[in-house]
Structure 1
Amino acid sequence: MMRRFLVTSAALAALVTGGAGTASAQTLRDALAQAYRSNPTITAERATLRANDENVPIQRASGLPGVSSSGGYSENLYDSGGGAGPLRSATGRVDLSVPVYTGGAVRGSVRAAETRIEAGRAALRGTEADLFTQVVAAYNDVIRDEAIVRLNQLNVRVLRTNLQAARDRFEVGDLTRTDVAQSEARLALAEGQLRNVEAGLIGSRENYIRVVGTPAGTLQAPPPLPNLPADPQAAVEVALASNPDLEAAQKQRDATRYDVQVARAGRLPRVGVSVGTAYQNYLGSVGNAAALAGFRNDSLGLTGGVNLTLPLFQGGRPAAQVRQAEARRSAAIENVTFAERGVVSQTRSAYANWQSALQVIASSEVAVEANKLSLEGVRAENSVGTRTILDILNAEQELLNSQVTLVSARRNAYVAGFALLAAMGRAEADDLNLGDIGPLYDPVQNYDRVRRRIGDWGGDGEPAAVATRTTDTAPQTPAVAADPTLGDPALQRPVDSTGRNPAGTPR
């Protein structure tokens, strides 16, 4: 059974390079591509990462020169000196300040922002893997539930035929009222079970719309999963090296080291250079007396200097900030251990679920074949009078249950196998080779676009929705197309296999 899922010579791209199919068929590749383009979870995570990209120019701005200007106008409303001074004035001033030394605060803040951006990129990879896992699960849920609905529909049809045959034989005295009641009860239970699985199919189809963004069409069987590990230890080793959630936690831990440096810079000297120019004009209001007193109608001044700030005592704030940053770094270190534990547990659990599902597949296949033989035997024994109608009904139910178990196990094995690849960091857009559907989202592109910008004016404009809405999709129904591969001849035969006509005469 394991060979069904292992493809040692193929890359993971084989997962989404299944046949194109017919025009109305939908492949797993189509669903993954649609979700990658338009799922709101991943589009929101991309926007969050773009917002984090702006932290680099924000922090770098503290170390760049700053230019400011000011201006004013004033009127001399009352002068006890008899109006000897100017009556009005207008001033304008421009100042340039250049930070020279900040104790490493700017550099540390920039490095911390850059490291957190790397953490955000890893988190985006994790979001991709989680989304693709949801798509694979939703895709296989629909396939599973469609198969289960078909099996139950077939079971109901067979039981209706059985009930009619039992009633006919009761009319001629070949069966008792108890036999008819047993057939009626089994049909009623089967119809109720059919309603339940149909509701489950509707739920799976609605969940598919939620995750993928479009209704499920005719879904093709997904291709085999390649490059699954041979043992859990090998899976854990790959996961510890490649899991995006663990990498994100590690980058967050690394960023806190720079936070400590920034906090320590709060008690170090700061040096800056400033240059300023000011212009003043009295707007022709300098009278003779003011002119004799030395007032000119306008003036221009230029100033320059070096500013040194040496903190001596700040009430304990710098030390508290250092201790706070160190404590947060300690928490980040522990979070890495927590994430590492989660990766190990998730990987081992996914491997165990995958292996368990493979074993269930093998045992269910044996059970299906055995139940088919059992049903044939019970029918044969019923024809000679050694088995009752109830025995046949029970054998049919056991066959149906084993077929449903087999369908569910195949779904569980596929989803668990993909979840294992996701835990190993092998289920992201690059791994799935989705690039040929169009350019993949490149988080570095936006970072390179904004990291060196120093203009105060600008923006990207009012955002527009990227993810598709699903409000205009029609409510899903449990309708399924016929699948001849599920038409098991053992279930299609009626209970009445005694070789007698309703009148009781041999055929």
Structure 2
Amino acid sequence: MTGWNMRIKRGLCAALAFAMLAAVPAGADTLRSAMADAYRNSALLEQNRYLLRVRDEGVNQAIAALLPTLSFTASSARDLVADTTTTTARLVAEATLYAGGSRRNALRGAEETLNAARAQLVALEAQVLGDAVTAYLEVWEAQQVVAVREANVRVVTEQLRAARDRFEVGEATRTDVAQAEALLATARSNLAAAQGTRDISRELFNLAVGRYPDALPGPGAMPVLPASEQEAARLARQEHPAIRALQHEVAAAESAVAQARGATRPNLSVDLSRSETFEAPLAAQEGNDARLSLTLSQPIYRGGQLGSLERQALAQAEAVRAGLNRQVQINLQLLGNAYARLGIATAQIQASDQRINAAQLAFEGIREEASLGARTTLDVLDAEQDLLEARISRIEAQSGLYAAAYGILGAAGLLGVANLNLPVPEYDVAAYGATFQGGRPRIASPQGDRLDTLLQAIGRE
């Protein structure tokens, strides 16, 4: 074996050793921990948890509109000529007995809007987890590509050194050296590009997860997918949180139609008042009054406003129904794409493994032939480049496999904390509303605790 051949062998061994070291987990930054941190640190989720509480308060206000009201007023007037002061105190109770069903429909609409907001928050949580998966896979893929590119630079450097040694003893031409120099420059350029892609991916990771990544040991085990594509399609049509949100929005829109129609019906209310009047300086009671009144009102003509409001509500309801049908189509399209990408990635991994084995054998054979003078330096460099591209294709296919698997979960509505069993407390979307029904369930999240602290600080609890 010539000195040139020995150097190439040492370069390949060093590259293999480096790749093996790169595959060893150097930290605990797993995909599951990244998703848990994204869920825990997301400012977007925190914002929408506040907005969900706005919807909860909308239900409370709709309930209050159904209840009687009690108010107290007091007034005092000074007569500057008679030098007397008259004070009146008045207590008034008011209740609406009938409003055409508009108030109860308003309550139903508020409840459905709240349920839609809860489902939307769950869908947003899935989006945050999906973004974390994408960010993790991009960083992991970029790190693997950088490792392969670095190993390639070392191997090509050894090839260039060997070519120069052979040139010195007359076994190679100046062209062989120039070709090795050109390939080394290309390898260094590709390495710089891979390092730049890795740095960009780290910034995306920081945005999605809320921190920069440590060493990534790899995505880990594949997630559990639905039993069949048909079952996944059923979940995408019926159980996906975005679908449930739109179903509640349809119900809310139908309540809005009923509410608009109720505005054309009679309104019956009752008032009960009690007043006392005193005059100073004698503090004599001037009089008192107790009154019960019943009021009936019926809109007759309002310039077409009521009809316009009803038509507007009907159009809104139809628009939401169309949006629901559209969301079903989108979910099924995303699901179909994810399954197609899963099949593609699986086939690419198998083909890449075969390609790596073949390229490895070809490279070793061409290298031996070159040591005997039957091959040129360019032949060796081309064979090494084929092996490099095969390894990178394997990395990209593996990343695509995980992305497709989690894409299936996302399209089927299964990308959630509970389904993935992530090590983070799941936010209870119903806990805040339950506090107004006599219970005090704990909201198991730092964001929920901060919200409760804020409410206590302003005296709302």
TM normalised by structure 1 equals 0.78
User: CA separation in 2, counterparts of 1:23 and 1:62?
Assistant: 60
2:246 is matched with 249
- Superposition pairs of residues 155-174 of structure 1, within 5 angstroms: 155-174=152-171
Residue 210 of structure 1 pairs with residue 198 of structure 2: no
2:100 is matched with 103
1:447 is matched with 433
1:187 is matched with 184
- Superposition pairs of residues 96-495 of structure 1, within 5 angstroms: 96-229=93-226, 232-284=229-281, 298-434=286-422, 437=423, 439-450=425-436, 462=454
Contact 2:40 2:424 in 1 (8 A): no
1:70 aligns to what SS in structure 2?
strand
User: CA separation in 1, counterparts of 2:88 and 2:319?
Assistant: 53
CA separation of 1:343 and 1:366: change in aligned 2, threshold 3 A: same
Aligned length: 422
1:219 aligns to what SS in structure 2?
coil
User: CA separation in 2, counterparts of 1:94 and 1:346?
Assistant: 62
2:149 aligns to what SS in structure 1?
helix
The structure carrying a bigger helix percent of its residues is: 2
User: CA separation in 2, counterparts of 1:462 and 1:337?
Assistant: 40
TM normalised by structure 2 equals 0.86
CA separation of 1:30 and 1:235: change in aligned 2, threshold 3 A: same
Structure 1, residues 213-265: CA drift from partner, whole Å, max 9, x if none? 22222323333334435664443123212211122112111111111111011
Amino acid at match of 2:432: N
Structure 1, residues 430-460: CA drift from partner, whole Å, max 9, x if none? 21123xx45421111111113689xxxxx96
Structure 1, residues 109-163: CA drift from partner, whole Å, max 9, x if none? 1111111111112112211221111112222222211111110001011111221
CA separation of 1:298 and 1:461: change in aligned 2, threshold 3 A: farther
Which of 43, 46, 50 matches 1:47?
50
Structure 1, residues 382-404: CA drift from partner, whole Å, max 9, x if none? 12222111111111111111100
Amino acid at match of 2:95: V
Give the unaligned 5+ runs of structure 2. 1-23, 440-450, 457-461
Structure 1, residues 81-105: CA drift from partner, whole Å, max 9, x if none? xx5xx74322222211011111111
How far is the alpha carbon of 1:463 from its aligned partner?
7.2
Amino acid at match of 2:384: E
CA separation of 1:372 and 1:24: change in aligned 2, threshold 3 A: closer
Structure 1, residues 48-86: CA drift from partner, whole Å, max 9, x if none? 2121111111111211111222222223346xxxx5xx7
Amino acid at match of 2:405: G
Contact 2:27 2:216 in 1 (8 A): no
User: CA separation in 2, counterparts of 1:336 and 1:22?
Assistant: 44
CA separation of 1:364 and 1:183: change in aligned 2, threshold 3 A: same
CA separation of 1:324 and 1:451: change in aligned 2, threshold 3 A: farther
1:280 aligns to what SS in structure 2?
strand
How far is the alpha carbon of 1:168 from its aligned partner?
2.3
Structure 1, residues 267-306: CA drift from partner, whole Å, max 9, x if none? 11111111112222222279xxxxxxxxx65333222211
CA separation of 1:443 and 1:421: change in aligned 2, threshold 3 A: same
**CA-atom RMSD in angstroms:** 2.3
1:228 aligns to what SS in structure 2?
coil
1:99 aligns to what SS in structure 2?
strand
User: CA separation in 2, counterparts of 1:210 and 1:463?
Assistant: 29
Amino acid at match of 2:420: L
Contact 1:87 1:282 in 2 (8 A): yes
Give the unaligned 5+ runs of structure 1. 1-20, 287-295, 454-458, 465-507
CA separation of 1:142 and 1:46: change in aligned 2, threshold 3 A: same
User: CA separation in 2, counterparts of 1:324 and 1:29?
Assistant: 47
The structure showing larger relative contact order (alpha-carbon pairs under 8 Å, at least 6 residues apart) is 1
Contact 2:146 2:194 in 1 (8 A): yes
User: CA separation in 2, counterparts of 1:297 and 1:255?
Assistant: 53
Amino acid at match of 1:202: D
Contact 1:67 1:96 in 2 (8 A): yes
- Structure 1 segments (4+ residues) deviating >6 Å: none
Structure 1, residues 372-427: CA drift from partner, whole Å, max 9, x if none? 11111211221222211111111111111110010011001101111111111122
Amino acid at match of 1:26: D
Contact 1:56 1:451 in 2 (8 A): no
1:218 aligns to what SS in structure 2?
coil
User: CA separation in 1, counterparts of 2:218 and 2:455?
Assistant: 38
User: CA separation in 1, counterparts of 2:85 and 2:223?
Assistant: 84
1:409 aligns to what SS in structure 2?
helix
Contact 1:88 1:285 in 2 (8 A): no
User: CA separation in 1, counterparts of 2:278 and 2:227?
Assistant: 85
